[in-house]
Amino acid sequence: MMLGVAASALVLSACLFGDGFNFQITDRRPAAVLESYPAWWSATEECSGESGDIGRVQWYTALGITYDGVYAQGVWLPPHDIVILRGYEEHESTVRHEMLHDLLEGDGEHEEAAWILCELIDT
């Protein structure tokens, strides 16, 4: 069980690094904004104290997202691209985690208090 927890942590934290790191994105395709995304965006703005325009985000899905061979559920890439692993488009914490990266314009190190306030640090 401990190995599963460690592996999950690697999968979830791999989205932190964004542009300039060794990401591989397989079969990246443009995606539509799901009906739930505007409400999730508003909730993320509210808990973080940040504001931004969800309309500036370019949404994509991918068949695979890896960082140095470790799988990720999502990645934010500057200036405003969010790539979500197919099958996780409706996974609220994954999508909101990447939304928060966009609102913070990065913060791959998760140093801002917003991660804790929004309860998105471990997603």
pTM of the model: 0.82
Query: Which residues 6+ apart lie within 8 Å of 90 measured at CB?
Result: 34, 36
Q: How many helices (H) and strands (E) does the chain have?
A: 4, 7
Predicted confidence at residue 20, as pLDDT, reads: 53
Predicted confidence at residue 43, as pLDDT, reads: 98
E strands of 1-123, at which residues?
23-26, 29-30, 58-62, 64-67, 70-71, 74-77, 81-85
Backbone angles phi, psi at 34, to 5 degrees: -75, 160
pLDDT truncated to tens, each residue of the chain (123 aa)?
333 333 333 344 444 444 455 789 999 999 999 999 999 999 999 999 999 999 999 999 999 999 878 899 999 999 999 999 999 999 999 999 999 999 999 888 888 999 999 999 875
Predicted confidence at residue 109, as pLDDT, reads: 82
Predicted confidence at residue 41, as pLDDT, reads: 98
